[in-house]
Every structure is written in structure tokens, then in C-alpha cells.
């Protein structure tokens, strides 16, 4: 008889001597765990029920911000839909982070404090059944298989799948060495490194495929660049330039990106390394980091225009383009958008000059904003952040820009906190309302959250290689991993949808189980600890 599984939960402690489990079966279903009892130390244990070889269950509890031996963290393995997507799920312990010190004794696990609580919202695998976990892995395998045609050889497609698996593990840094160390059935480290840094596969076809897979086909296209702080001068494209991650000028690389801000979620659509003029002029330096001969110096705004054309070519309907002042202040950038028939709402610098109605001379936007009467400023809320409503004071004026034809909207903004001023130029119709102007101009803020999630959850800025192909490969594979997490968020019919870090945690937890049960050394260590528990006082 195949053993089934039951969830054992105790509020006042866990006695492992009363729990039995079969030795490493393949369980049919894992039922969801009960909710932890508030204010008490709650241990969640998944144990089998039925006949078969009986051995004692393994029990462990995590100390604050630490991981016990039974929760050995590792990446996903066998995710391709062509192979065994489930692996074998052996009996395991779902550890719960506790705020109490735990002591092992011979027959009982007890705490030196009578009561302990758990962080609110902490994800436990008791909420994910066996079928749900297997379905999640199958969906990831099917998603990864859709990029197989982007590679000329099967070995490259397999290496790409393993790199994606590594991006979902919980290593502190997403360097190749750290990710490779947590793959349960990896290719060699040299092979993985060669695939990223030296293999000649182009990133362009994979970006094209990623745009084809994006489910939302209409929205606002956000143009922005993001910095990657670096030490030294040998990494491709590095120089002293403004870095948004540092908030100042520093040694960094800069990537120009576009993302589709859809009705519900944000989807990456392109990313390209900005190669400074001094780099492009140094042929020997470019050769060392394998910059392709077709890559030449281009201003950031020209790179952005090329990406916008690619997004249009992919069949997206762009309602408007939003960008920061590094792009919006450039007249040629705004003119090109108008020639493409696109609406835009771009930030500009206060030094931009314009004529207001009835004025004999042009003035800077900063001077025009300072002269606006106090009673004309209106408070407008454009969104909701983690700390509450996002709001500021605004005034809109129709002006004629100094280097342009016809009138355009200029939106003046004053911060509620420190009276900081910002300025936006929009080419919407004269009948547009103030609320519509504000919401469009401020619709760029989701891309900042996207950058933060890409860097914090998937290690977008953790790449340690120096070559141009390696940088491009890491960026597109990270964007693919981000897109899969967005797909999983989109599947949820509940409101509000789970956050991207929450979905990322599901993948990480399932990966930990796969790594643990697939590693005989760790599993045997767990059994050894149960037979002869270590004493901790």
C-alpha cells in the first residue's frame, strides 16, 4: 500500500517519538498545513500514514535568521518537461522560523521559552500541495522549452535551463559559482561558465521570443536606464558616470531598458548595454571583452528609440511612452516619438525654455513654475505605495517649447514633503484633464519597482563577468525568469495578486526540497541526526 500523507501540527511542542514515517516513498498528495496558532510555538511536520518500512521521522526547527540542517537550500532540478519534472519527494520537515532558541534532547524537542510567535505572512509549504508543486514545475519546464529554438545546439538549451534554475535558488549572490553549487544534478561549472561568457549564441532571438510570449499586448512603454556599480575598469562599458543605484556619479555600467506597463503587471521587453564613446573608440579594449564589431557608440536616447521600434514591430499597441529627464529633455527624442505617431509623457529639466501665452520672451520652466499663483496648485493622488497614497501638488499649462512646433502640455509638480519641483512635457490633446495628465506622467514609477525586484530577487546586478556577450546573456535570462514569475502571478484569480517575492519564495522552497531529497549525503545526515540527536544547550 502506498503511504499517504498527513499534516501534524502541535501548539505546545512536538514529540517526534509519536510520529512514524515510511523511508523515502513517493507520496501521492501533501495536504495543506493548518494555520499556525498565534502566540504559540507551532511546528509544521509532514508525515506519511500507512504501511511500509517504518523509521522515525526527522524533526528540526529553524533558529532566528538561520537554517537548520534539514532545510538544505538548493536550486531546482529536472525542470524540463522532457524529463522527470517531479523528482522523488521524500518525507521532509517544513521548518518554521521561530523567535525562540530550540534545544534538542533524546526524545523531545523543547524550547527554553514557553511561548513564541512567527512572522506574519511567512510562507510555509503546508499551503502548497504535492499536485500544486508538481504543476508549478511542469509549467516552468514548458516555459523554458519555448526558448529551445533560440539556441543552435541542445547542450546550449540545457545549459540555459540550468541557469534559469540557478536564478531561482536562494543563494546570497547570483554569481555562477554560487548558483552552480546548489544545482542538484548540474553540468560542470566550466560548461555553465562557457555557456554564459564565451558561447556565441545571440541574445536578440531570445528577446524576440520573450516579447512574443508576453500575454498583455497593450500598455504604456516605460523607457529607463539602470546602473550596475563596478570596481575596476576592465568590465565592458564601465566608466565614471551617473549611477541610479548609487544616487550619484560612480564607477558603473549602464543598461538601457524598456518595459511594458500593462493593465495589471509590468513585462520586460528589451535591455542593451550602453557603450561609452571612449570604449567604442578603443578597438583593443573592445576586443578583450569581445564587443561585437556591429556594436558602435550610440547615445542612450538613440538606443531607446531603436528599442521602441522593435516593440512596435513585435505587435504591441503602445498607448504612450514615458521616460525620465535624461531622455525627455532631448528635443530629437520627443520629435522622433511624434513622427512615430506616439503619445508621450516625459520628464524634463527645469532649464528647458518655453513661451507661455502672451509672453514676449521665453523663460525656463523653473521660472514659470515659481511664478504660478499658490491657489492654482491642486493635490492629485496617482497611486498607492507601500507607505500609503502617492500624491503631490500639480499645475498644468499649455506652452510652446523653444525648440519645437506647436503647443504642448507642461506639468509642474511640487512635493508635499519638501517642496521639490519636477517638470513634465506631454503631447496629449488640449482637452486632457489634469488628473489624466498626472496619471500618465507618473505611470513610470512601476518600472522602479521592477528594477528593485529584478535585482533583489533574481540578481540582475550580480553578474561578475567582464565580457559583452556574458552581460547580454545574463540580462536576457534574468528577464526570462522574471517573466515566468509574472506569469505565475497572473494565474491567480484572487485580488490582490500575490507579490513577486511571494511567488519567488514558492520556487525557492520547492527547490530546497528537491535539493534535499535528491542529495543522498544530506538525507543520510538527517537520518543520522535523528537516530543520534545532537545535544545543544
Which residue range is the domain that position 23 belongs to? 4-126+516-531
Query: Does residue 272 belong to any structural domain of this protein?
Result: no
Q: Is 407 a residue whose pLDDT tops 60? A: yes
Q: How much is the average pLDDT of 78-83?
A: 34
Tell me which of 17-31, 189-203, 423-437 is least confident: 17-31
- pLDDT-derived band at 185 (thresholds 50, 70, 90) equals confident
The residue among 443, 459, 477 that closes a domain is: 443
The residue among 426, 443, 460 that closes a domain is: 443
User: Nearest 5°: CA angle at 415, between 410 and 420?
Assistant: 80
**CA 211 to CA 267: how far, in whole Å?**
9
Tell me which of 102-106, 207-211, 368-372, 527-531 is least confident: 102-106
Residue 119 shares a structural domain with residue 14? yes
Strand spans (E) along 190-311: 218-229, 239-243, 248-261, 266-273
Q: How much is the average pLDDT of 274-289?
A: 95
- pLDDT-derived band at 101 (thresholds 50, 70, 90) equals very low
Query: Does residue 393 belong to any structural domain of this protein?
Result: yes
Give the pLDDT confidence score for residue 380 in this predicted structure.
95
- pLDDT-derived band at 381 (thresholds 50, 70, 90) equals very high
Query: Does residue 522 belong to any structural domain of this protein?
Result: yes
Would you say the pTM of this structure is higher than 0.85? no
Cell of 25: 516513498
* CA dist list (Å): 486 to 48, 129, 205: 34, 21, 21
**CA 19 to CA 21: how far, in whole Å?**
7
Query: Does residue 8 belong to any structural domain of this protein?
Result: yes
Strand spans (E) along 285-365: 317-323, 344-348, 353-356, 363-364
Query: Does residue 249 belong to any structural domain of this protein?
Result: no
Query: Does residue 167 belong to any structural domain of this protein?
Result: no
The residue among 398, 428, 443 that closes a domain is: 443
Query: Does residue 146 belong to any structural domain of this protein?
Result: no
Dump pLDDT digits (tens) for 294-341: 999 999 999 999 999 999 999 999 999 999 999 999 999 999 999 999
Residue 10 shares a structural domain with residue 102? yes
* CA dist list (Å): 94 to 85, 171, 267: 21, 19, 33
Give the pLDDT confidence score for residue 535 in this predicted structure.
73
Dump pLDDT digits (tens) for 208-242: 999 999 999 999 999 999 999 998 889 999 999 99
**CA 484 to CA 478: how far, in whole Å?**
10
Dihedral sign from CA coordinates of 295, 298, 300, 302 = negative
Residue (of 215, 211, 206) closest to 157 by Cα position: 206
Higher-confidence residue: 184 or 49? 184
- What is the SS3 assignment for 420? coil
Residue 121 shares a structural domain with residue 9? yes
Query: Does residue 351 belong to any structural domain of this protein?
Result: yes
Q: Could you tell me if 168 and 511 are in contact, meaning their C-beta atoms sit under 8 angstroms apart?
A: yes
Q: Is 201 a residue whose pLDDT tops 50? A: yes
Residue 427 shares a structural domain with residue 521? no
Domain count along the chain:
2
Dump pLDDT digits (tens) for 446-475: 888 888 899 989 999 999 999 999 999 999
DSSP 159-221: HHHHHHHHHTS--SS--HHHHHTT-SS---HHHHHHHHHT----SHHHHHHHHHH-S--EEEE
Amino acid at each position: 500500500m502506498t503511504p499517504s500523507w498527513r499534516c501534524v501540527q502541535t501548539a505546545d511542542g512536538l514529540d517526534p517519538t509519536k510520529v512514524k514515517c515510511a523511508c523515502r516513498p513517493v507520496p501521492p498528495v501533501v495536504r495543506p498545513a493548518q494555520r499556525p496558532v498565534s502566540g504559540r510555538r507551532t511546528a509544521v511536520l509532514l508525515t506519511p500514514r500507512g504501511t511500509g518500512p517504518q523509521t522515525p521521522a526527522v524533526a528540526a526547527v529553524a533558529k532566528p535568521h538561520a537554517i537548520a540542517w534539514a532545510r538544505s537550500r538548493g536550486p531546482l532540478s529536472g525542470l524540463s518537461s522532457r524529463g522527470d519534472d517531479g523528482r522523488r519527494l521524500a518525507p521532509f520537515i517544513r521548518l518554521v522560523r521561530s523567535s525562540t532558541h530550540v534545544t534538542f534532547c533524546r526524545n523531545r524537542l523543547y524550547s527554553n521559552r514557553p511561548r513564541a510567535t512567527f512572522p506574519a505572512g511567512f510562507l510555509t509549504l503546508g499551503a502548497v500541495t504535492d499536485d500544486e508543486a508538481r504543476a508549478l514545475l511542469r509549467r516552468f519546464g514548458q516555459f523554458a522549452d519555448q526558448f529551445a529554438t533560440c539556441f543552435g545546439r541542445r547542450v546550449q538549451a540545457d545549459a540555459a535551463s540550468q541557469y534559469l534554475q540557478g536564478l531561482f535558488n536562494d543563494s546570497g549572490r547570483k554569481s555562477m559559482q554560487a548558483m552552480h553549487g546548489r544545482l542538484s544534478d548540474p553540468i560542470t561549472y566550466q560548461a555553465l561558465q562557457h555557456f554564459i561568457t564565451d558561447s556565441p549564441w545571440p541574445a536578440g532571438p531570445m528577446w524576440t521570443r520573450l516579447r512574443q510570449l508576453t500575454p498583455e499586448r497593450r500598455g504604456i512603454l516605460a523607457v529607463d536606464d539602470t546602473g550596475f556599480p563596478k570596481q575596476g575598469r576592465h568590465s565592458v562599458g564601465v566608466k565614471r558616470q551617473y549611477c541610479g543605484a548609487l544616487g550619484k556619479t560612480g564607477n558603473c555600467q549602464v543598461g538601457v531598458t524598456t518595459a511594458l506597463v500593462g493593465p495589471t503587471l509590468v513585462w520586460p521587453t528589451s535591455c542593451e548595454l550602453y557603450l561609452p564613446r571612449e570604449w567604442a573608440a578603443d578597438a583593443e579594449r573592445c576586443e578583450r571583452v569581445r564587443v561585437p564589431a556591429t556594436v558602435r557608440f550610440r547615445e542612450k536616447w538613440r538606443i531607446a528609440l531603436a528599442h521602441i521600434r522593435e516593440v512596435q514591430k513585435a505587435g504591441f499597441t503602445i498607448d504612450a511612452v514615458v521616460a525620465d529627464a535624461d531622455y525627455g529633455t532631448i528635443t530629437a527624442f520627443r520629435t522622433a516619438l511624434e513622427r512615430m505617431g506616439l503619445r508621450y509623457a516625459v520628464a524634463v529639466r527645469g532649464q528647458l525654455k518655453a513661451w507661455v501665452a502672451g509672453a514676449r520672451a521665453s523663460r525656463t520652466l523653473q521660472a514659470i513654475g515659481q511664478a504660478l499663483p499658490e491657489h492654482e496648485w491642486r493635490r492629485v493622488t496617482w497611486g498607492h505605495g507601500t507607505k500609503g497614497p502617492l500624491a503631490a501638488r500639480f499645475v498644468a499649462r499649455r506652452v510652446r517649447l523653444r525648440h519645437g512646433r506647436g503647443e504642448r502640455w507642461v506639468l509642474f509638480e511640487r512635493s508635499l514633503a519638501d517642496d521639490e519641483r519636477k517638470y513634465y512635457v506631454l503631447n496629449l490633446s488640449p482637452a486632457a484633464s489634469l488628473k489624466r495628465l498626472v496619471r500618465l506622467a507618473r505611470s513610470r514609477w512601476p518600472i522602479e519597482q521592477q528594477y528593485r525586484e529584478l535585482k533583489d530577487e533574481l540578481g540582475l546586478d550580480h553578474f561578475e563577468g567582464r565580457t559583452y556577450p556574458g552581460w547580454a546573456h545574463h540580462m536576457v535570462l534574468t528577464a526570462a525568469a522574471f517573466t515566468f514569475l509574472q506569469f505565475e502571478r497572473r494565474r491567480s484569480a484572487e485580488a490582490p495578486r500575490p507579490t513577486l517575492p511571494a511567488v519567488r519564495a514558492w520556487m525557492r522552497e520547492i527547490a530546497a526540497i528537491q535539493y534535499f531529497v535528491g542529495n543522498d549525503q544530506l538525507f543520510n545526515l538527517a537520518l543520522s541526526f535523528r537516530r543520534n540527536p545532537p545535544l545543544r544547550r
